[in-house]
Homo-oligomer: A and B are copies of this chain.
Amino acid sequence: MFPWKNIVSIDKNAPTPVYLQIVGAIIKEIMAGRLISGQKMPGTRYLSEQLDINRKTVVAAYDELMAQAWLDVTPSQGTFISQTLPIVRQRQWASGSIPSYQQLHTAAFSLSFLPSDGHQTEKKEMLRITDGSPDVRIAPMDNLYKRCREIASGRSRRQYLRYGDEQGEISLRKALAHFLHTTRGLSCSPQQLLITRGSQMGLYLIFQLLLKTGDYVIVGESSYPVANEVIRKFQGRLLTVPVDEQGLQVEVVASLCRQYPIRAMYITPHHHYPTTVTLSAERRVRLLGLAQQYRFAIVEDDYDYDFHYASSPLLPLISMDTQGVVIYIGSLTKCMAPALRNGYVVAPENVIQALTQYRKLIDRQGDLVLEKAMAAFIEAGELQRHLKKSLKIYRQRRDDFCTLLQQQLGEWIHFQVPDGGMAVWVVFASDIDLLALAKYAHTRGISLEGVQDWHRFQAIRLGFASLNAEEMQRGVEVLKEGITSFKRKLSRSA
């Protein structure tokens, strides 16, 4: 007799109803070829006794299996495994448990792409002191979500809850156009704007549109690694250009233009990533001239334009572009909170239209409720007020952090006080092993995530904007402890 008791394991506390547990177990047996077409099933009374459950439950399971055509009833003869089921494979009766989906670690079909570990976001509760993020504790999220709630239950809610504009909610595009005009001297139209999921989606869409296999793209020798990853993903070839105190060396760009057919260039002129230097005005003019002459696209990633502490900032490249060579990427994420995945792209209309078509295939449209809420937030001047407030806080934090760095680590580091942004580029003495330092810091609850990208410059991009006084102190203290303990070891072994 069939070992029903071993095969149908019932867990009365499981969320799945018992009768469905039986259904699942029997289907699995059929699939595995252990119950075969035409085989007679036990009576419901017998099975209920075997399984020690109510007979009605077994009847319900059989009904379900008949509805699903796994079982047939032949009157006065009994219940049988359906004759019309083609048998997949008849197996030898094997001991051991039936594989359940939960144990499926590997697909049966082949995968050519095997994921690497990549940069994992810290899962543990660590204090991250690198890269520079906004402090989400001061972001007026409550106001924003209050608006979301009103929009999602208000009278016009249908408009924002169903399928809508793939280019982004029109009210947000209008509000942003106005915002860009007043803050960056950029007068674009809502038709020249695409709302994206953070600046990441902007990068992805733009290089997807621009690149064919083997196309040349110029980037800084140090640059935003994620941008390089996206460019490589779309089979672009990277050409790197040195970066100095005035930003990217534009004469090297000129010389590359003479040697290669350049398709595009990726640049963060406002504060070069990761070193934070600003591209000088004359280099900007020269760069625009080169792009116009050689007809390549400048992808201007202006991730932290809204944070400048000293004089007025240089306007973005796009504000001076009269020919249509610049594609501009911006982010509201950096203004508020990283999880708020709101970014945008500004470009000539035909570029925006093409990007929108690609975007539709990826996720169809953005979150219209959030987009509408953000529009109202900007219209009411709340984003601007928040930026003013953050600017004040971050400027103070920059000053405090730089003072602290100088006091505590002065003998082993050098850095320029940045005139904007959320991070300082700190170069360490050449005998300090930064990867080892990161490991040490990790044991003390401090994350130096990103150090893998920067240690070849013997530098770390330390972020100050998200750290309050106590957190700064703690972070710098741990760095100091790490460095002094290495130094002790070195002098001992010397």
Which residues of A pack against B, CB within 8 Å?
A: 14-17, 20, 23-24, 27-28, 30-32, 64, 67-70, 82, 84-86, 88-89, 98-102, 104-116, 118, 121, 123, 133, 136-137, 139, 141-142, 144-146, 148-149, 152-153, 157-158, 160-166, 178, 181-182, 185-189, 192, 196-198, 200-201, 204, 209-210, 212, 226, 229-230, 233, 263-264, 280-282, 285-286, 288-289, 291-292, 295-297, 311-312, 314-315, 318-325, 327, 337-341, 347-351, 353-354, 356-358, 360-370
Closest to A449 in B: B163
Cα(A135)–Cα(B281), bound, Å: 55
Inside 8 A of A337's CB, which chain B residues have their CB?
Answer: 161-162
Q: How far, in Å, is A200 (CB) from chain B's closest CB? A: 5
Contact among B164, B312, B356 for A115, CB-based, below 8 A: B356
Q: Is there an interface contact between B323 and A108, defined as CB atoms closer than 8 Å?
A: yes
Q: Chain B residues near A148 (CB, 8 Å)?
A: 145, 148-149
A351-B70 Cα distance, complex, nearest whole Å = 30
- Known contacts A148-B149, A187-B102: A325-B362 contact under CB 8 Å: no
Closest B residue to A346 using CB positions: B101
Residues A164 and B320 in contact, CB atoms below 8 Å apart: no
- 12 residue pairs from A and B, CB less than 8 Å apart: A28-B322, A69-B282, A101-B319, A105-B349, A107-B351, A109-B295, A109-B324, A109-B325, A111-B351, A121-B166, A133-B162, A161-B339
Partner of A145, one of B145, B319, B349: B145
Tell me the bound Cα distance from A136 to B323 in angstroms: 44
A190 CB to closest chain B CB, in angstroms? 10
A217 to chain B, nearest CB (A): 12
How many angstroms between the C-alpha atoms of A295 and B31 in the bound complex? 16
With A104-B192, A295-B110, A348-B106 known to touch, is A27 a contact of B339 (CB < 8 Å)?
Answer: no
Residue of B nearest to A322 (CB): B99
Closest B residue, CB atoms, query A182:
B15
Closest residue on chain B to residue A20 by CB atoms: B185
A106 and B288 within 8 A (CB):
no
What residues of chain B lie closer than 8 Å to A201, measured between beta carbons?
362-363
Q: Please name the residue on chain B nearest to A105 by beta carbon.
A: B349
Q: Which of B163, B166, B212, B357 contacts A116, CB < 8 Å? A: B357
Which residues of the partner chain B approach A157 to less than 8 Å between Cβ atoms?
Answer: 136-137, 141
**Given pairs A23-B315, A102-B192, A233-B361, 6 additional interface contacts (CB within 8 A):** A100-B187, A106-B324, A133-B163, A142-B152, A198-B364, A200-B363
CB atoms of A357 and B115 under 8 A apart: yes
A98 touches B296 (CB 8 A): no
Contact A319 B24 (CB under 8 A): yes
Cα A28 to Cα B368 with chains together (Å): 36
A101: chain B residues within 8 A (beta carbon)? 186-188, 192, 318-319, 321-322
The docked-state distance in angstroms from the alpha carbon of A30 to that of B68 is: 76
Smallest Cβ distance from A51 to chain B, in angstroms? 17
* Contact (A161, B282) CB under 8 Å given A104-B324, A297-B109: no
Closest chain B residue, CB of each to CB of A321 = B101
CB distance from A378 to the nearest CB of B (A): 12
Set of chain B residues within 8 Å of A149, measured between Cβ atoms = 142, 145-146, 148-149
- Known pairs A152-B145, A325-B107, A349-B106; A286 contacts B86 (CB<8 A): yes
